[in-house]
Structure 1
Amino acid sequence: MAGDLAAFGLAAPAPAGPLVCPVWEDLMPTVRAWLAISHQWRTQLVPLALGAIRTQVIGLDYAAVGAWLADNIPDLEARREIWRYLAVMEAEALQLLNGE
């Protein structure tokens, strides 16, 4: 990116420091779960005009997510609560990943 900006006589802004995102303590188990499973996506190829294709993200791989939750969250009620929060995060991520 810096090279692209330099071509126009611009400089990349200096980093502002580490990214800080406060999270309520009772939501930390969900954040930790998300960080562990957020690479488990189901995708499909979608044909476009002139033979081009693009990748569309369908959603999380629920079998993989369920297995991770079962292995790492022993309390069933806590697992169900985390699953509900993960579904909200998944819905938001899908919009970003698919450019909606």
Structure 2
Amino acid sequence: MLTRGPSGSGVWPQNAPAVRAFLAVCNQWRTISAGLAGFRVVGLDYSAARAGLRLSGIRPTPELWAEVQVIEGAAVAAMRES
């Protein structure tokens, strides 16, 4: 069963907590210089992500964090494709 989120996209209910957590910290990327190409995304800055989760009122359990890392990996792969 899918639910409709604020963006109108479907999210499985069991994945909603991980999506909410990721959206709370999705602007906390760690990057490295790529010379003339600009920069390359490495992944989330975990210290900043932890603070962002805490400030958002989200308690990061090991299970929730593992799910956020799956989303992080897919996001990094998508950013590297473009």
Q: Among residues 69, 74, 87, which one is paired with 2:53 in the alignment?
A: 69
The size of the alignment, in residue pairs, is: 76
Kept after mapping to 1: 8 A contact 2:25/2:53: no
- Gaps (5+ residues) in structure 1? 1-18
Q: CA deviation at 1:85?
A: 0.6
Q: CA deviation at 1:95?
A: 0.9
Distance 1:45 1:80 in 2: 31
Relative contact order, higher structure (CA 8 A, sep 6+): 2
- Compare CA radii of gyration and give the structure with the larger one: 1
Q: CA deviation at 1:30?
A: 1.1
Aligned to 2:70: 88
Counterpart amino acid of residue 29 in structure 1: P
Aligned pair 1:30/2:18, yes or no?
yes
Of all paired residues, the percent bearing the same amino acid is: 35
Runs of 4+ in 1 over 4 A off after TM superposition: none
